[in-house]
A and B are shown apart, each in its own frame.
Chain A
Amino acid sequence: MSVPSPAEISRQPFPKLLKDRYFATRIDTIVTVTFGLLTLWLLWSFFEWAVLHAYVDPEDRDACVQSEGACWAVITARWRIVLFGLYPFEEQWRSALACLAIVLTTILSCLPSFWTALRLSLLWIVGFAAFYILMRGGILGLAPVSERDWGGLALTLFIFAAVVLIGMPLSIVFALLRRSNLPWISRTMGLVIDTIRSLPLLTIMFAFAVVIPFATPDWMNGQQLYRVIVGYAIFFACYQAEIIRGGIQSLPAGQEEAAKALGLGYWQRVGYIILPQAFRNALPPTINQVVITFKETSLVTIIGFFDILASGRAASGTGEWSFATIEVYVFVAFIFFVFVFSLSRYGAYLERRLGVGTR
């Protein structure tokens, strides 16, 4: 009896496929039934909690406290705090539009037709400017809103987008410096990268947010938000530089030698031969790094920023709703999931398109 290959199995009719895959032997049957029931039970409990016994109307607050189910009423009553933080209430439409602008820009830049350096940079300049003008105001008749009052989803997206936008070009510079032929440059860069990579992100954020103002003159300090973004971007760049270096080193040496033999200069070699192939090789870990960066933005709450996690805590942190913390955390987790899951699905699409791993 020969074992059918996965491709053969998936071509079989459904009942047979089910039997071959899940009920082939007695042990298979036991495992399938046990885990199937366990999964169903978990899903049912969640469904019961989240839907059947749940309350949505804020008027039902007192019933909620006693009930077994979820109390989504806290979200109905305070979702604007979770999404927009301390942004002035009447102006929150601006914050919503700004989030939309960043999401749209991200989606557009994922489309292959935008993949030229000129179009991508134009798109991001326009998208970012739109975000900043909407959020900050002060022109076009929009009331100014200080960065201190930014919060919720908009702040999380801003930090994430700014870190990746500053960090990505920086990482290429770092990677190239590290591979420089001049030992002084490559060793110094290596030392810098390794030092920063051996520090926890939290330490770096704390240092940039809190310690730097003691050490530098006033005019260099700027807003705390931008200091943190710069610190985080450097951190991101150090990790990403190592990923890119890995991509470069996986290229056969012949590639660069052939380019040299053709008489291409350094920038031509790097721009046309090395980096495009290195990026292709480094795509899976790059997506990974970007996803991690998105999730780690929530660390800024430690230095007092009202990111989506902190504003979630503020939403439940009042005498009226203090019992409903789990619902708020589930809501915030859902928002994170939507973004991170889309990011990683897009990464998978990119890998298929570029044929990573099939060469």
Chain B
Amino acid sequence: MQFVDRETTMKTTKQMMLATTVLTAFAGMSSAQVAEDSRLKTVLERGSLLCSGHNGSFQGFAEVDDEGNWQGVDIDLCRALAAGLFGASEGNLEIVPISWAQRWPALQSGDIDVVIKVSGWTQSRDTELNLAFSRPYFIGAFQAMAPADLDAESIADLTGGTICVGAGTSTERALATYLETKDIDAEVLTFENGDELRNSYFEGRCDGFVEWAPSLAASRADAPDGPENHTILPDVIALEAEGIVVPEGDDDWLDVQNWMLSSLWFAEMEGITSENVDDIRADPPSETVAKFLGVSPGYGERLGLSDDWAYNMIKEVGNFSELYERNIGSGSRYGLDRGINALYTNGGVFYPMIID
């Protein structure tokens, strides 16, 4: 998997280099040209980024602190993006609260510039809806939780019982497919509202509760009868790869998203944090890091940004590990293990792309 990806990356890089060379020769310019109609241009000219928020809260990804400030993984990615574009997110970022159903029309109509809202990469969204996904930044598993006294060890043990799930979500579809293929006969009860779903489970209306693993962990931690009375079953009903979404056909804008994510992972790999980024920038250990932090030119210019854009992002939100731990990991109430979401060096599936 990784080899293929790396090869593809190399190929793309070569193609990009070729393209840049041609472009440089043709236009006599050293920086990459940003298309006239790109969102990148619109956003830079407007001087602020309109990023997706939530109508209410999605725990760990977009929620509101005691003083009404947004926080969460998705919000931090918005902040990183704004910092990369403008130097700092303060005053240059507007979080627009939108609902799930509204995110695609809002993106297409320009009410928001980018959707960073735990959105799974699905084929219909990618093709029919004319959306473009960045590489995933989070892999979420759909799992089931059951009361411990049922002694269930897998979803198959819930045969004949009732399984509760959110209505109209990709979870509902994934569960239906899973039950069908495994030939499990269980009644599926759907709920429009997440709170209602959770309460129904804890009141005993459902034998199983299917949710996205991070939400499931959060619910279990605050179970009224104690977390030890509930088991998260190991079966993975479906995996969802969450990516950043931009309109299709806007390569310059998509490039910025991909390289933002890559930069956060690259910083983690190199041990660059929001704390030590200034020291490392003053004395970069390698030519790549020097380029990455904007000491030597090129890293930002090719995207149509300033060369210290990655430095600004790291300074503001830290590397991916800091961002994760602060919002849903060990530094938060959710205490979610990094697991598959770690860098490949730590047993995960994520990796930075090559900076050359």
Cα separation A319 to B333 with both chains bound (whole Å):
6
Point out the residues of chain A lying under 8 angstroms from B297, CB to CB. none
Cα separation A214 to B106 with both chains bound (whole Å):
10
Q: A81-B66, A84-B68, A301-B55 are in contact. Are A323 and B97 (CB under 8 A)?
A: no
A85 contacts partner chain B, Cβ-Cβ < 8 Å: yes
- The answer, among A81, A148, A305, A322, for a CB contact under 8 Å with B68, is A81
Point out the residues of chain A lying under 8 angstroms from B70, CB to CB. 86
Point out the residues of chain B lying under 8 angstroms from A310, CB to CB. 55-56, 97
Q: A304-B97, A322-B218 are in contact. Are A213 and B111 (CB under 8 A)?
A: yes
Point out the residues of chain B lying under 8 angstroms from A319, CB to CB. 59-60, 63, 218, 221-222, 332-334
Min CB distance B84 to A, Å, is: 22
Min CB distance A122 to B, Å, is: 35
Q: Are B97 and A87 in contact (CB under 8 A)?
A: no
Residue ID in chain A nearest B97 by CB atoms: A304
The interface centre, meaning the residue of B97, B110, B111 with most chain A CB atoms within 10 A of its CB, is: B97
Q: Which residues of chain A (73-120) have a CB below 8 Å from chain B?
A: 77-78, 80-81, 84-89, 92
- The answer, among B66, B68, B96, B224, for a CB contact under 8 Å with A304, is B96
The interface centre, meaning the residue of B56, B58, B69, B226 with most chain A CB atoms within 10 A of its CB, is: B56
Cα separation A304 to B52 with both chains bound (whole Å):
10
Q: Are B108 and A148 in contact (CB under 8 A)?
A: no
B124 contacts partner chain A, Cβ-Cβ < 8 Å: no
B195 contacts partner chain A, Cβ-Cβ < 8 Å: yes
B residues contacting the other copy or chain, number (CB 8 A): 41
Q: Which residues of chain B (216-241) have a CB below 8 Å from chain A?
A: 218-219, 221-222, 224, 226
Cα separation A211 to B226 with both chains bound (whole Å):
46
The interface centre, meaning the residue of B59, B99, B106 with most chain A CB atoms within 10 A of its CB, is: B99
Cα separation A329 to B99 with both chains bound (whole Å):
19
Q: Are B333 and A85 in contact (CB under 8 A)?
A: no
A325 contacts partner chain B, Cβ-Cβ < 8 Å: yes
A224 contacts partner chain B, Cβ-Cβ < 8 Å: yes
Q: Are A85 and B94 in contact (CB under 8 A)?
A: no
Q: Are A85 and B68 in contact (CB under 8 A)?
A: yes
Cα separation A294 to B332 with both chains bound (whole Å):
38
Residue ID in chain A nearest B222 by CB atoms: A323
Cα separation A214 to B53 with both chains bound (whole Å):
21
Q: Which residues of chain B (174-219) have a CB below 8 Å from chain A?
A: 195, 198-199, 218-219
Interface contact tally, CB-CB below 8 A: 115
Interface of B is mostly: loop
A8 contacts partner chain B, Cβ-Cβ < 8 Å: no
Q: Are B97 and A210 in contact (CB under 8 A)?
A: no
- The answer, among B58, B59, B106, B222, for a CB contact under 8 Å with A210, is B106
- The answer, among A65, A86, A92, for a CB contact under 8 Å with B222, is A65
Cα separation A81 to B218 with both chains bound (whole Å):
21
Cα separation A146 to B59 with both chains bound (whole Å):
25
| A121-149 interface bits toward B, Cβ cutoff 8 Å, 1 = contact, 0 = none | 00000000000000000000000001010
Cα separation A301 to B55 with both chains bound (whole Å):
6
Min CB distance A55 to B, Å, is: 14
Cα separation A299 to B69 with both chains bound (whole Å):
23
Cα separation A306 to B106 with both chains bound (whole Å):
16
Cα separation A81 to B219 with both chains bound (whole Å):
22
The interface centre, meaning the residue of A84, A92, A313, A319 with most chain B CB atoms within 10 A of its CB, is: A319
B105 contacts partner chain A, Cβ-Cβ < 8 Å: yes
Min CB distance A183 to B, Å, is: 39
Q: Are A325 and B199 in contact (CB under 8 A)?
A: yes
| B105-125 interface bits toward A, Cβ cutoff 8 Å, 1 = contact, 0 = none | 110111100000000000000
- The answer, among B58, B66, B67, B195, for a CB contact under 8 Å with A325, is B195
Min CB distance B324 to A, Å, is: 15
Q: Are B55 and A305 in contact (CB under 8 A)?
A: yes
Point out the residues of chain B lying under 8 angstroms from A317, CB to CB. 56-59, 63-64
Cα separation A315 to B111 with both chains bound (whole Å):
25
Min CB distance B4 to A, Å, is: 38
Point out the residues of chain B lying under 8 angstroms from A323, CB to CB. 222, 224
A314 contacts partner chain B, Cβ-Cβ < 8 Å: yes
Q: A80-B68, A84-B68, A86-B68 are in contact. Are A322 and B59 (CB under 8 A)?
A: yes
Q: Which residues of chain A (290-341) have a CB below 8 Å from chain B?
A: 301-306, 310-311, 313-320, 322-323, 325-326, 329
Cα separation A188 to B101 with both chains bound (whole Å):
34
Q: Are A304 and B98 in contact (CB under 8 A)?
A: yes
Q: Which residues of chain A (9-46) have a CB below 8 Å from chain B?
A: none
B65 contacts partner chain A, Cβ-Cβ < 8 Å: yes
- The answer, among B57, B96, B106, B224, for a CB contact under 8 Å with A318, is B57
- The answer, among B55, B195, B226, for a CB contact under 8 Å with A302, is B55
B2 contacts partner chain A, Cβ-Cβ < 8 Å: no
Cα separation A31 to B109 with both chains bound (whole Å):
61
Point out the residues of chain A lying under 8 angstroms from B56, CB to CB. 301, 310-311, 313-314, 317
Min CB distance A214 to B, Å, is: 6
Point out the residues of chain A lying under 8 angstroms from B99, CB to CB. 301-304
Q: Are A211 and B60 in contact (CB under 8 A)?
A: no
Q: Are A315 and B64 in contact (CB under 8 A)?
A: yes
Residue ID in chain B nearest A312 by CB atoms: B56
Point out the residues of chain A lying under 8 angstroms from B101, CB to CB. 302
Q: Are A320 and B102 in contact (CB under 8 A)?
A: no
Q: Which residues of chain A (136-191) have a CB below 8 Å from chain B?
A: 146, 148
| A227-243 interface bits toward B, Cβ cutoff 8 Å, 1 = contact, 0 = none | 00000000000000000
Could you write out 16 A-B pairs with CB less than 8 Å apart?
A65-B222, A80-B66, A86-B64, A89-B69, A209-B102, A302-B102, A313-B55, A314-B54, A314-B56, A318-B57, A318-B64, A319-B59, A322-B59, A325-B195, A325-B198, A325-B199
The residues of A with any CB-CB pair to B shorter than 8 Å are: 65-66, 77-78, 80-81, 84-89, 92, 146, 148, 206, 209-211, 213-214, 224, 301-306, 310-311, 313-320, 322-323, 325-326, 329
The 5 lowest CB-CB distance pairs between A and B, nearest first, are: A317-B57, A319-B333, A313-B56, A304-B98, A325-B195
Known: A65-B222, A86-B68, A89-B68. 13 other contacts (CB 8 A): A146-B94, A301-B55, A304-B55, A304-B102, A304-B106, A313-B55, A317-B56, A317-B58, A318-B333, A319-B63, A319-B221, A322-B218, A326-B199
